[in-house]
Amino acid sequence: MADSPSTPLLGEEKEKEGGGKDRLGLKTESNTEREEAAETLGHKDKGDGSKSKNSSLSDLSLARFITTELNRGYFLEHNEAKYTERRERVYTCLRIPKELEKLMIFGFFLCLDTFLYVFTLLPLRVILALLRVFTVPCCGLRGSRLLQPAQVCDVLKGFIMVLCYSMMSYVDYSMMYHLIRGQSVIKLYIIYNMLEVADRLFSSFGQDILDALYWTATEPKERKRAHIGVIPHFLMAVLYVFLHAILIMVQATTLNVAFNSHNKSLLTIMMSNNFVEIKGSVFKKFEKNNLFQMSNSDIKERFTNYILLLIVCLRNMEQFSWNPDHLWVLFPDVVMVITSEVAVDVVKHAFITKFNDISADVYGEYRASLAFDLVSSRQKNAYTDYSDSVSRRMGFIPLPLALLLIRVVTSSVKIQGSLSFMCVLLFYLGMITLKVLNSIVLLGTSCTFVKAAKMEEKLFDPPPSAVSSRANSRANRTKHCQMAPQQEPTATKTSEPEASDVCQTTHSTENANCALPKSDSDTFLTTPDEEDDEKIINSDTGLDGEELKPRTPKKDLLEIDRFTICGNRID
């Protein structure tokens, strides 16, 4: 009995001894780990002291570190997806110059076709329209329409060109040249930048003025009058074309002063301005629609620069009595301007596509979209002339530029004698031949692009109806979506089953009222960039994104013109 109480004490002593051994074991294990770490780092001598201190210090030598760095390896296949993506980005950047220049060349010939139309076919169409005006009343055809809408537009264009040319004859180019040449280099640089901005603003508002004039003159008379009249619109159009032509003349004169400066400092500064464009464009978010606008803007800018260079060369050749040797003096400066423009476009588009993960194949879609405009303008149900379509798409309005070129050519080239008139006639016939050949080649190429893009069915679609602006459509959607929830409290007063039925009907009416009008065009060349609209509608209506997902529209590139706001940006 006396031994029984001692048994727990013995057990406690054994547990203490076991715990002590465990603690000793932990200490020994920790000591061994420290010894091993010290051995790896070289802080403790190895073995029982047989190795000397010099051998331990040799482990910390520079040679061992360099040997380890030289023999260290890694495996790229452990992150195969990352490196494959980087390689594809490099290939995309290498493909950008080729694909971009294909688009630029195609767009250049489109602008050339529109530009030649003003000099070749437009005068002939105006003459035919005027002959119809005088012959139809004489033949007694009262029931027939005097002029077709297209002929009315051609006559208005002809009158605008004639009036603006008579007004341009009072502008002295030589006085403008010497006035600009007397300014300082920095002031001229600022003036040139201001002229570029003003040119974009004039182009954006000018095409609206011309379209308003054409529609006012050809609007059916049965409708209620909702305009100020044809004559005020015509005067606004004349004023716009004249002011835009003066602006381009000042721009060409500034470029001419830069060419004729002795140290070429102004020309260098003006060319460096192109590289500033990279800074303002590359580091911004771009979607396919934004890039399409920028590409159209670059096409228009490049073609306009070529015409400005032609005007500068004509003025300089006139000053040197058309000496062919002086043309070789201007040649290096012309090459420098063109090369800098091409280099800036390539670098800008290459990095924009890189930063925004846009494939180089998108430029083929852009070509197909421009080709579709050309092919659709040749259809029987066409609702616009091709020159006006290019003006809306690229912002290239040929009337002011053509007016300036006519003014410069008539002041630089003196026509005297019958031989000179024969030369002018032959030159005009050559321009008509060039226009016809260019149109035939462009039409065939455009048909190839349209077939490759599988857009033939869209050619037979009816013309698009009048569509409100994006802000108005958004306001209408939110307004209709808020009308149905306001009727729910009146329905909940009756009974719960009826309330549930009303909720279902209101959701169905919301789906019907909030449904967006889908365009008749195909979903090709689209970019789903309507996330902001979904967020606004969700916050106003409380509907889930899954219910609104089928109604989100896709912006078609064929519906985007040069000045459409796309992503809160106008290029």
Number of domains in the chain: 1
Contacts of 193 (CB under 8 A, 6+ apart): 273
**Is the model more confident about 561 or about 63?**
63
Q: Within a domain: residue 248?
A: no
Contact 161/399 with Cβ under 8 angstroms?
A: yes
Tokens standing for 215? 């529609």
CA distance 563 to 569: 9
pLDDT score for 469: 43
| 8 Å CB contact between 455 and 368 | yes
In a domain, 298, yes or no: yes
At 90, list the tokens.
């490099």
Residue 28 has a pLDDT of 46
Cα–Cα distance for residue pair 556/395, rounded to 1 Å: 18
Kindly report, residue by residue over 90-118, the tens digit of the pLDDT.
888 888 999 999 999 999 999 999 999 99
User: How many angstroms separate the CA atoms of 560 and 558, rounded?
Assistant: 6
- Is-contact 373 389, C-beta < 8 A? yes
Residue 303 has pLDDT above 80, yes or no: yes
List pLDDT tens digits, range 354-403.
Answer: 888 888 899 999 999 999 888 888 777 677 777 777 777 888 899 999 99
Q: Which of 5-9, 129-133, 404-408 has the lowest mean pLDDT?
A: 5-9
CB 117 within 8 A of CB 387: yes
> Quick check: is 308 in a domain?
yes
Residue 526 has pLDDT above 50, yes or no: no
Distance CA 340, CA 233 (A): 40
Whether 252 is covered by a domain: the verdict is: no
> Of 191, 208, 353, 351, nearest to 279 (Cα)?
351
Confidence check: pLDDT of 41 > 60: no
- Domain encompassing residue 269: 81-142+261-460
pLDDT at 156 over 80: yes
Q: What is the 3-state secondary structure (H, E, C) of 430-492?
A: HHHHHHHHHHHHHHHHHHHHHHHCCCCHHHHCCCCCCCCCHHHHHHHHHHHHHHCHHHHHHHH
* Spatial CB neighbours of 181, under 8 Å, sequence gap ≥ 6: 257, 260
Q: Which of 255, 268, 281 is nearest to 192 (CA)?
A: 255
Which residue shows structure tokens 């009146």? 490
Query: Is 1 domain-assigned?
Result: no
Helix (H) or strand (E) holding 556: strand 555-556
418 within domain boundaries: yes
Would you state the structure tokens that stand for residue 10, as one six-digit string?
């013995």
Tell me what pLDDT residue 120 has.
Answer: 92
Q: Which residue has the tokens 């959701």?
A: 507
The position carrying tokens 């993960």 is: 357
Summarised one tens digit per residue, pLDDT across range 80-89 is 888 888 888 8
| Rounded distance between C-alpha atoms, residue 289 and residue 349, angstroms | 14
pLDDT > 50? residue 175: yes
Whats the size of the chain, residue-wise?
571
State the virtual CA torsion across 241, 246, 252, 258 in degrees, nearest 10. -160
Q: What percent of the chain has pLDDT over 70?
A: 67
Most confident option among 244-248, 287-291, 525-529: 244-248
Looking at the domain assignment, is residue 49 inside a domain? no
Tens-place pLDDT, residues 230-260: 899 999 999 999 999 999 999 999 888 888 8
Q: Virtual CA dihedral for 149, 151, 153, 158, nearest 10 degrees?
A: -170
The average pLDDT across 117-122 equals 92
Q: Is position 170 within any domain?
A: no
Residue 213 to residue 236: CA distance in whole angstroms: 9
Q: How far apart are CA 201 and CA 60, in angstroms?
A: 71
